[in-house]
């Protein structure tokens, strides 16, 4: 019997695409049972697009500056994404806020990786803010995307220590190492049907998840 078809994903990026690369690599090795159907960037010329082409994945640019407003940009983005028929939309360093209608369209089938221990430090400049607050621990979260910016249900996190002498760059680099392990794991759980959104609750293996899984406790 033929192997079951792998679920398709579309990855949205805005920049260098190192998280995209970690996904492409693990999809190619078979460790991550998904088919990356397309990569779409809202910024032209970014390195993530080259990574997609190098992996033989369609790389598209949809420049928000070519549209009159967010709504018309997002309508075209939906058209493009849905043309690939993905089971899941993956935000990987995608830097445009998405309107409620877009989030509702992909409710329960769109994930984001955010470089903080949510609910701390939603939005941008998370590493600078964690340092300024004197945190001793920082990290990264994976959540289902809802209209509330970085406010959707979190189901997986990894932590890193903040070390003496850290600046935003050294801290970001330490977090990024964890990001590259965390996102493929989260996507694999989704692809295997282990994690899903039920209303505002994340179900893990069919049971409500009381607190996010942690990579460091054997997730
Ligand atoms: N949209 C919704 N509705 N909900 C979320 O949870 C989203 C989202 C869009 C993107 C990623 C996010 C992050 O992980 C994300 C989550 C961009 C901004 C932002 O302020 C904030 C958070 C995130 C991404 N963007 C500015 C804007 O006006 C532009 C900033 C820039 O271009 O540098 O869209 O942190
Ligand atoms: C990552 O650190 C990701 O967590 C963060 O941007 C970086 C993208 O790097 N995402 C956000 O800040 C979302 N607002 P990458 O392009 O190399 O994957």
Residue 160 lies in a domain: yes
- Is 173 contained in some domain? yes
CB-based contact 181:188 (threshold 8 Å): no
How far, in Å, is the centroid of ligand 1 from the Cα of 4? Answer: 35
Confidence (pLDDT) at 156:
98
DSSP letters of 181-218? HHHHHHHHHHHTTSEEEETTEEEETTEE-SS-EEGGGT
2 belongs to a structural domain: no
pLDDT of residue 1: 60
Q: Name the token pair of 18.
A: 């190192």
CATH of the domain at 190: 3.40.50.170
114 tagged catalytic: yes
| pLDDT higher than threshold 90 for residue 196 | yes
Is 171 inside a domain boundary? yes
pLDDT above 90: percentage of residues in the chain: 95
User: How does residue 3 score in pLDDT terms, banded at 50, 70 and 90?
Assistant: low
Answering whether pTM is above 0.85, one says yes
- Give the binding-site residues of ligand 2, using a 6 Å CB cut-off: 13, 15-19, 48, 92-93, 95, 113-115, 176, 179
- Residue of 64, 105, 114, 127 marked catalytic: 114
Q: What's the pLDDT tens digit per position in 8-62?
A: 999 999 999 999 999 999 999 999 999 999 999 999 999 999 999 999 999 999 9
Distance 150 CA to ligand 1 centre (A): 8
The answer to the question of residue 149 being in a domain is yes
- In which element (H, E) is residue 89 found? strand 88-91
Of all atoms in ligand 1, which is nearest to the CA of residue 122?
35
Confidence at residue 76, expressed as pLDDT on a 0 to 100 scale = 98
Which ligand minimizes its atom distance to the CA of 127?
2
Partners of residue 111 on adjacent β-strands: 90, 144
Asked whether residue 56 is assigned to any structural domain, the reply reads yes
Residue 3 resides in a domain: no
Please check the confidence at residue 217 and state whether its pLDDT lies above 60: no
- 1 within domain boundaries: no
Count of domains for the chain: 1
Residue 158 has pLDDT above 90, yes or no: yes
Domain containing 69 equals 8-217
């Amino acid at each position: 019997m033929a192997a079951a078809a792998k679920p398709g994903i579309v990855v949205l990026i805005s920049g260098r695409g190192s998280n995209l690369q970690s996904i492409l690599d693990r999809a190619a090795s078979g460790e991550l049972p998904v088919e990356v159907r397309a990569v779409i960037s809202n910024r032209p010329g970014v390195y993530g697009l080259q990574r997609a082409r190098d992996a033989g994945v369609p790389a598209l640019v949809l420049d928000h500056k070519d549209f009159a407003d967010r709504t018309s940009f997002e309508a075209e983005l939906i058209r493009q994404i849905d043309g690939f028929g993905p089971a899941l939309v993956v935000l990987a360093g995608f830097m445009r806020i998405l309107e409620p209608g877009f989030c509702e369209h992909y409710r329960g089938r769109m994930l984001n990786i955010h470089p903080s221990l949510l609910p701390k430090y939603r939005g941008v400049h998370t590493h600078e803010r964690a340092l300024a607050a004197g945190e001793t621990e920082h990290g990264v979260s994976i959540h289902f995307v809802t209209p509330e910016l970085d406010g959707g249900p979190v189901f997986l996190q990894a932590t890193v220590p903040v070390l003496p002498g850290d600046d935003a760059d050294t801290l970001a680099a330490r977090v990024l190492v964890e990001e590259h392990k965390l996102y493929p794991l989260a996507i694999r759980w989704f692809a295997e049907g282990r994690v899903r959104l039920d209303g505002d609750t994340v179900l893990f293996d069919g049971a409500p998840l009381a607190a996010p899984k942690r990579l460091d406790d054997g997730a």
